[in-house]
Structure 1
Amino acid sequence: MNGKKLHRSYRNRLSNFNSWKAGNDIEKGLLFPQNMGPYLSIDETSLSLGELYTIITNKDARGKKGTVVAIVKGTQSDGIIPLLKRLPKRLRNEVKEVTMDLAGSMNLIVKHCFPYAKQVIDRFHVQQLGGEALQEIRIQHRWKAIEAENKALEKARKTQAEYHPKIYANGDTLKQLLARSRHLLYKAQVNWSQEQEKRASLLFELYPDLGQAYALAQKLSWIYNHSSSKSLALTRLAQWYDQVEKAGFKTFNTLSKTIQLHYERILNYFDNRSTNASAESFNAKIKAFRSQFRGVKDVPFFLFRLTKLFA
């Protein structure tokens, strides 16, 4: 049978999509109050053409049926809050904890819709910022290396001489060394391969500031992994702030200010060590489901199938 014909037959006859009661409210938002629980996650995902949807999930469902609490188009808090307030107030007031990323809109949504819930900023989003601050320094050095090589090539052409870039002990040129160091900078040193150890040794010898920035990023992860309480984590973060200030890296100073502005919600992690991993896992399932269709052209039908599986 023709694939398109089979799709139409399933959509219009076999799936009960046309009689789906929620179908008319897709643009407004899909709510499933029966899936509410005390521990929720809130995150955003893209379904098609960069259009973002805010999705609230129940952690206790573990990514199976009963996971989806709400799917709302957009990420603007002023449009999402009125929709979520349609959920029964009693159920919303029973929510104890909501994990999220650093987006300001998420803070407002949870504050207004789940007033008694503790807000927890996901640790991996904070650590990701640390990694990005480190990578920004590496990228700056890489652009300088590319520019220096371009100037050397241009000079060689003018003098009709051959240009041979310097090859380091591990076989990399300077430009290659900076490009190929990307992945090792995300890893802890104990997880480096022998080749990555050699590359890192060369990198930090040539660029001591990268070694210092790597230590700062790893120290942030260490605080999360080895702090048993809020008070201990707060003390260690204060020491980390001092180290960042002394280092003088612009990207890490920005990260430090971000953590200071959100430190209460960041430190809430140490109460139950809750993360937004369940929401990220659910997003991965959505992406896998979406890839089976090679993109989403019919958003209402996609949401219909998604809610049948997970709501």
Structure 2
Amino acid sequence: MDRYPITGRSLEWFFDIDGDLFERQYKHHLSGYWQWKDSTEGLHAERWRVFPQNIGPRLSIDETSLSRGELYTIVTNKDAHGRKNAIVAIVLGTDADTVIHALRQIKSALRNKVTEVTLDLSDSMNKICRMAFPRASRVIDRFHVQRLALDAVQEIRIKHRWDAINSDTDARERAKLEGRKYEPERLENGDTLKELLARGRYALFKSPEKWTASQRQRTEMLFSLYPDLKEAYRLSQNLRVIFNKRSSKDSARLNLARWYDRVADSGFKSFNTIAATFYEHADEILNFFDNRSTNASAESINSKIKAFRAKLHGVNDTKFFIFRLCNIYA
């Protein structure tokens, strides 16, 4: 057996280390956590932590879950690209006043240097940005906007699927009462109607150029059987085109106004609700066309937090998790 040159112990010794013991030793002695835990920063760490030195002209704000579904609001610096010095603030909860209080621990001179903040459609996030970063342009993430339209399409598909399930159940019951074997009607691709409506779900999230051959066949059949689903999908894709087009803000405003008119003509209740939401946040949505900024940096941090949490098999000590998280990304 090979020997480690300094200790003289066999290399097997390194593979026999108790993982739980090593984790405890790291937490209690090596990491510096216990000294930090009783410091001024550590005492309020579970409620909020801010890092004024990480602030930059372009920020993102979003919410994420650290443990047991408990939500935290995270403000990140876009220019850090999800790496070191990315986290500007991490605050327990999504209450606007609580987050504003934490962010106001950063001097106003620094906060006034922020020129742009990307966010979602949440009113609380909008208020936080307005009060904490008064000179910044607020940009609602285009993907949150598009997702609402795609969800409206899925709502129509789900309604048709429940109708198909109920019809299939009734047909089975009739066949049972008549003493005959039930054979569901199959379409040209081999799907039953309820299978078509279930399996067509994924294609409706995509643009047509990304459909596979089987997805194209399914959507053509769906649109033939359900014209309202075709119209709803067309509206969602028209919205996607507006955001993909590199147009000026004024041109985008006109295109969105035309889209609102098409929504009104469609008569879809879910799309009318979405259009009203868009109209309410029109300025923040149109600000996207200034620099085409998105909330991708915030989503990147969220993904890394989830991966880190999964690697630890969950979070038992929230304060220690925040300590490690901030050491890595703040």
TM-score, shorter chain, exceeding 0.5: yes
Displacement of 1:73 = 0.3
Match of 2:9 in 1: none
Give yes or no for the alignment of 1:108 onto 2:124. no
5+ residue gaps, structure 1, are: none
Match of 1:214 in 2: 233
Query: 8 Å contact 2:117–2:129 — kept in the other structure?
Result: yes
| Per-residue Cα deviation, 1:165-208 (whole angstroms, up to 9, x for no partner) | 11111111001000001110011101111111111111100111
Match of 1:99 in 2: 118
Cα distance in 2 for residues equivalent to 1:281 and 1:223: 25
| Per-residue Cα deviation, 1:245-300 (whole angstroms, up to 9, x for no partner) | 11111111111111001000000000000000110011001101110011111111
Cα distance in 2 for residues equivalent to 1:163 and 1:254: 41
Give yes or no for the alignment of 1:305 onto 2:321. no
- Report the 3-state secondary structure (helix = DSSP H, G, I; strand = E; otherwise coil) of the residue aligned with 1:245: helix
Give yes or no for the alignment of 1:10 onto 2:26. yes
Match of 1:72 in 2: 91
What aligned pairs does 1:236-251 form with structure 2 within 5 A after superposition? 236-251=255-270
Displacement of 1:28 = 3.0
**Letter of the aligned partner of 1:172 in structure 2?**
D
| Per-residue Cα deviation, 1:52-74 (whole angstroms, up to 9, x for no partner) | 00000000111111100000000
**Letter of the aligned partner of 2:20 in structure 1?**
K
Displacement of 1:27 = 2.9
Give yes or no for the alignment of 1:38 onto 2:57. yes
| Per-residue Cα deviation, 1:24-64 (whole angstroms, up to 9, x for no partner) | 12133101000010000000000111100000000011111
Match of 1:127 in 2: 146
CA distance 1:275–1:122, shift in 2 (3 Å): same
The CA RMSD measured in Å over matched residues stands at: 0.8
Cα distance in 1 for residues equivalent to 2:94 and 2:192: 44
Match of 1:199 in 2: 218
Displacement of 1:5 = 1.4
Match of 2:272 in 1: 253
**Letter of the aligned partner of 1:182 in structure 2?**
R
Identity rate, percent: 53
Aligned residues: 311
Deviates more, 1:99-108 or 1:25-34: 25-34
Give yes or no for the alignment of 1:24 onto 2:40. no
**Which of 190, 206, 217 is equivalent to 1:171?**
190
**Letter of the aligned partner of 1:225 in structure 2?**
N
Cα distance in 2 for residues equivalent to 1:98 and 1:139: 35
Cα distance in 2 for residues equivalent to 1:168 and 1:38: 56
* TM-score for both structures, normalised by structure 1: 0.99
Match of 2:247 in 1: 228
Match of 1:289 in 2: 308
Cα distance in 2 for residues equivalent to 1:148 and 1:250: 24
Give yes or no for the alignment of 1:142 onto 2:161. yes
Cα distance in 1 for residues equivalent to 2:247 and 2:218: 34
Match of 1:275 in 2: 294
Deviant stretches of 4+, over 3 Å: none
- Report the 3-state secondary structure (helix = DSSP H, G, I; strand = E; otherwise coil) of the residue aligned with 1:47: strand
Cα distance in 2 for residues equivalent to 1:70 and 1:140: 42
Computing the radius of gyration from Cα coordinates, the structure with the larger value is 2
Query: 8 Å contact 2:28–2:34 — kept in the other structure?
Result: yes
